[in-house]
């Protein structure tokens, strides 16, 4: 998947933001809905699928391994699955583009099937280590040959039957947890994952919904998730709720731009994903949950966000797993708060699409924000609601969340902030800048 020509963008203070927005479908749930539907016997229907490049890479991979994946004109996706154990040998390398989620979860699927798959990706993904997934999958019997440093390109030769294992997660990672559980789907016996620190639980919820024998219990060392292999998944009708990570950009934008008031519809409120809302409320953000309800086994609500002065906090480290993707936009909120915010506990940011701690420190400092970099986060001296100096040129490092976060920062900058390349935003939120314009002129 070749990277498009760089698309620079320049922004400065505008506003207020007013109106209603429906964010794209949740990326984590979208990936899993395609994968699990491809493993069911029969036709599943998916509404609200995020049609960003990352999720489309998953759809292409499932087609390459035998599933019939189509999109109707009304936006509904239909997947005719091959059944657990029925994945076919792909005829070419699986190009994951920029999607770490696709790569790690699909490695788990392939690991217990009698097929061999080669995974490739763009420059950003190829720099991300896969060792944390390679280690447990190798214990299950998969033969994995990776590039130096455990990176892409890599080849997975699945073993069938694979070996069930009991695996304690050394780091809080929903992707590693999910990869082991997905390998366990086609492995005889019971595969167990012990999770000392809770992470997003979309895989567990959805696997149960598809009919997998999955049990969760509390143990001495954390949550024990057990899945019985050689499962038969039943097709489902899935409605994907709005992505809380995408909603986070508008929550912060409305919070920092005076006079703003927006309504964000159908946001997934899964407790393992709500860390940013909790942190922003601790800072004084005016966020109201409206019409709380359930959609496809997930808690959902509309969010009304009004401008409010933010105050610095020490972010509770326990929130990190439930907001790991939202740290970049939280850093932006901290840049406008009154006082010094300390946001730590996020070691995982070092191995995302970019080193998000270092990249955000450099970007914020270029925009006139005083920061201190830690191994696991940043300390940020806020402006107290004043405009940032701006006059900055920002390197997004091919990272969609860096590009979107600094675009929001630009809405509160006295002088222009120029982002070198916003084209990576298409990986998760293709309509982001169109939505921004619609909210600014409403």
List per-residue pLDDT tens for the chain, 442 residues long: 455 688 999 999 988 999 999 999 999 999 999 999 999 999 999 999 999 999 999 999 999 999 999 999 999 999 999 999 999 999 999 999 989 999 999 999 999 999 999 999 998 899 989 999 999 999 999 999 999 999 999 999 999 999 999 999 998 899 999 999 999 999 999 999 999 988 999 999 999 999 999 999 999 999 999 999 999 999 999 999 999 999 999 999 999 999 999 999 999 999 999 999 999 999 999 999 999 998 877 899 999 999 999 999 999 998 998 999 999 999 999 999 999 999 998 888 887 778 999 999 999 999 999 999 999 999 999 999 999 999 999 999 989 999 999 999 999 999 999 999 999 998 889 999 999 999 997 5
Our count of domains for the chain comes to: 2
Burial class (CB in 10 A: 0-12, 13-18, 19+), 291: exposed
- pLDDT given for residue 442 in this prediction: 52
Residue the block writes with tokens 């006059």 = 391
CA distance 57 to 1: 9
Which pair of tokens denotes residue 280?
């922003």
Residues 168 and 44 in one domain: yes
Of 201, 302, 325, 399, which is the active-site residue? 325
Q: Are 281 and 303 found together in one domain?
A: yes
Query: Are 37 and 181 in the same domain?
Result: yes
Q: Give the range of the structural domain holding residue 219, as residue numbers without chain letter.
A: 27-228
Residues near 66 by beta carbon (within 8 Å), at least 6 away in sequence: 38, 82, 86, 87, 88
CA-wise closest residue to 70 among 89, 43, 91, 88: 43
d(CA 166, CA 210): 23
Does 219 fall in a domain? yes
Q: Are residues 255 and 397 in the same domain?
A: yes
Residues across the chain: 442
Q: What is the largest CA-CA distance in the chain?
A: 61
CA distance from start to end of the chain: 36
CA distance 214 to 191: 10
- How far is the C-alpha of 439 from the C-alpha of 73, rounded, in Å? 27
3-state helix, strand, coil in the chain (%, to 5): 35, 30, 35
What single string gives the DSSP state of each residue in 25-88? BPHHHHHHHHHHHHHBEEEEEEES---SHHHHHHHHHHHHTT-EEEE-TTS-EEEEEE-TT-PP
Q: 86 and 14, same structural domain?
A: no
In this structure, the answer to whether residues 288 and 193 fall within a common structural domain is no
Numbered residues of the known binding site for 3-phosphoshikimate: 27-28, 32, 173, 175, 325, 352
Last residue within a domain, chosen from 205, 228, 251: 228
- Please indicate, yes or no, if residue 94 is contained in any of the structural domains: yes
> Which of 197, 228, 259 is the C-terminal boundary of a domain?
228
108 and 150 co-located in one domain: yes
Rounded to an integer, what distance in angstroms lies between the CA atom of residue 424 and that of residue 433? 12
pLDDT at 321 (0 to 100): 86
Sign of the dihedral through C-alpha 235, 236, 240, 245: negative
CA distance 369 to 361: 9
Looking at the DSSP assignment, which residues form a beta bridge with residue 195?
223
Closest alpha carbon to 345 in 357, 336, 333, 358? 357
Question: Is residue 203 domain-shared with residue 322, that is, in the same domain?
Answer: no
Domain boundary among 207, 228, 249: 228
Among 236, 201, 280, 262, which Cα is nearest to 26's? 201
Residues 299 and 352 in one domain: yes
Task: Extract the annotated binding site for phosphoenolpyruvate.
Answer: 27, 100, 128, 175, 356, 401
Q: Please tell me the predicted confidence (pLDDT) of residue 78.
A: 98
**143 and 75 in a common domain:** yes
In CATH, what number is assigned to the domain containing residue 210? 3.65.10.10
CA dist., res. 299 & res. 269, Å (int) = 5
CA distance 343 to 382: 13
| Cα–Cα dist 325/407, whole Å | 16
Kindly state whether residues 296 and 271 are assigned to the same domain: yes
| Catalytic residue list contains 325 | yes
CA dihedral 386, 405, 430, 245 (to 10 degrees): -110
């Amino acid at each position: 998947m070749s990277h498009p020509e760089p698309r620079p963008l320049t922004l400065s203070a505008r506003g207020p933001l007013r109106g209603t927005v429906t964010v794209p479908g949740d990326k984590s749930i979208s990936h899993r809905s395609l994968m699990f539907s491809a493993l069911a016997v029969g036709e599943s229907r998916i509404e609200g699928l995020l049609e960003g490049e990352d999720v489309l890479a998953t759809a292409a991979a499932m087609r390459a391994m035998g599933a019939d994946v189509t999109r109707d004109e009304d936006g509904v996706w239909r997947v005719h699955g091959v059944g657990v154990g029925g994945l076919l040998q792909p005829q070419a390398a699986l190009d994951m583009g920029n999607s770490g989620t696709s790569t790690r979860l699909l490695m788990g699927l392939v690991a217990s099937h009698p097929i061999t798959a080669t995974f490739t990706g763009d420059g950003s993904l190829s720099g991300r280590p896969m060792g944390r997934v390679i280690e447990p999958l190798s214990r299950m019997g998969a033969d994995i040959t990776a590039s130096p440093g455990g990176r892409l390109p890599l080849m997975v030769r699945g073993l069938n039957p694979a070996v069930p294992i009991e695996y304690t997660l050394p780091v809080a990672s929903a992707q590693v947890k999910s990869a082991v559980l997905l390998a366990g789907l086609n492995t005889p016996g019971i595969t167990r994952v012990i999770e000392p620190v809770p992470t997003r639980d979309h895989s567990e919820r959805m696997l149960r919904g598809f009919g997998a024998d999955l049990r969760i219990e509390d143990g001495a060392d954390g949550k024990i998730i057990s899945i019985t292999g050689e499962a038969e998944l039943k097709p489902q009708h899935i409605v994907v709720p709005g992505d809380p990570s995408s909603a986070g950009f508008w929550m912060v934008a409305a919070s920092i731009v005076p006079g703003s008031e927006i309504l964000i519809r159908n946001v997934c409120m899964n407790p393992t994903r709500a860390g940013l809302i909790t942190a922003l409320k601790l800072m004084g953000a005016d966020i109201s949950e409206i019409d709380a309800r359930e959609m496809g086994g997930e808690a959902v609500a509309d969010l009304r966000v009004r401008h409010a002065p933010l105050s610095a906090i020490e972010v509770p480290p326990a929130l990190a797993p439930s907001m790991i993707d939202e740290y970049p936009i939280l850093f932006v909120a901290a840049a406008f708060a009154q006082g010094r915010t300390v946001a730590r506990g996020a070691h995982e940011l070092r191995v995302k699409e970019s080193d998000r701690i270092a990249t955000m420190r450099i970007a914020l400092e270029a925009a006139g924000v005083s920061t201190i970099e830690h191994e696991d986060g940043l300390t940020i001296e806020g402006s107290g609601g004043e405009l940032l100096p701006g006059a900055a040129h920002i390197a997004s490092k091919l990272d969609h969340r860096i590009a979107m976060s600094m675009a929001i920062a630009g809405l509160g900058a006295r002088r222009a902030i120029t982002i070198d390349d916003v084209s990576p935003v298409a990986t998760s939120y293709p309509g982001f800048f169109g939505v921004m314009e619609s909210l600014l002129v409403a």
